[in-house]
């Protein structure tokens, strides 16, 4: 029996990382990494992460707390004084829900862990083409980070970041997830609701648009569906 190489998947508990894990699982043994960073829905995202890890029977799991994001602030996800906006301004610049340089911090931690456990890939569910416009979800950022990995890890580590959803839209992501039997019912994307998704924040709207484009019904509960 051939042993699959190991890959770390940055798993927020959301839909995109859920599908990324399903894609990675075809060729790699999964190691799931999750960051608690003081976001509004921290507890709900952690629950989603743990349920997905259990679904896949993952052996390697790492949960890290990074409270410094709340100390730094500057994002509606981590600063309670900033309101989470509705989705009417999607596509009009970098929104207030952007957490400054978050993906660089997350990837740095995930790569550190990958180097320790011998993983050769780090998967992240970054989406450039149909997203909120976050600068750390661009292909140029992923390429630059891979350069940093080559320079900053042991010779021969072979670690590389992959973003398999980067140029997909949300409808394509949902369809891919359904094809791979990803546990989308265990994922959580809302920026502010924990009992039921709000249905009005940009993350909810993008997710709902994706399911509609895929001709499917989102299985998670919503307070309101547009």
Instruction: Label each residue of 113-154 as H, E or C.
Output: HHHHHCCCEEECCCCCCCCCCCHHHCHHHHHHHHHHHHHHCC
Answer for the pair 83, 76: CB distance below 8 angstroms, yes or no. Answer: yes
pLDDT at 89: 59
Angstrom distance (rounded) from CA 25 to CA 87: 33
- The chain-wide mean pLDDT, for the chain, equals 94
Task: Give residue 64's pLDDT band: very low, low, confident or very high (50, 70, 90).
Answer: very high
The residue with tokens 């960073």 is: 37
Q: Are strands 160-162 and 6-10 parallel, antiparallel or unpaired?
A: unpaired
Residue 147, Cβ density class (10 Å: 0-12 exposed, 13-18 middle, ≥19 buried): exposed
Q: What percent of the chain has pLDDT over 70?
A: 96
Residue 90 has pLDDT above 70, yes or no: no
CB 67 within 8 A of CB 37: yes
Q: Which residues pair with 53 in a beta bridge?
A: none
């Amino acid at each position: 029996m051939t042993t699959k190489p190991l890959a770390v998947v940055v798993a927020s508990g959301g839909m995109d990382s859920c599908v990324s894990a399903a894609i990675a699982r075809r060729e790699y043994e999964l190691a799931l990494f999750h960051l608690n960073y003081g976001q509004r829905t921290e507890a709900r995202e952690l629950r989603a992460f743990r349920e997905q890890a259990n679904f896949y029977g993952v052996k390697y799991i790492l949960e890290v707390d990074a409270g410094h994001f709340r100390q730094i602030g500057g994002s509606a996800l981590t600063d309670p004084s900033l309101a989470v906006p509705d989705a009417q301004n999607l596509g009009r610049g970098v929104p207030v829900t952007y957490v400054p340089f978050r993906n660089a911090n997350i990837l740095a931690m995930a790569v550190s862990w990958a180097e320790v456990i011998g993983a050769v890939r780090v998967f992240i569910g970054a989406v450039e083409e149909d997203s909120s416009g976050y600068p750390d979800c661009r292909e140029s950022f992923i390429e630059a980070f891979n350069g940093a990995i080559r320079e900053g890890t042991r010779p021969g580590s072979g670690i590389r970041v992959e973003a398999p959803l980067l140029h997909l839209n949300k409808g394509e992501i949902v369809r891919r997830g359904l094809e791979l039997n990803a546990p989308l019912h265990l994922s959580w994307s809302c920026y502010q609701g924990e009992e039921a998704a709000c249905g009005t924040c940009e993350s909810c709207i993008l997710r709902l648009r994706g399911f509609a484009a895929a001709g499917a019904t989102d299985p998670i509960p919503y307070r309101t569906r547009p």
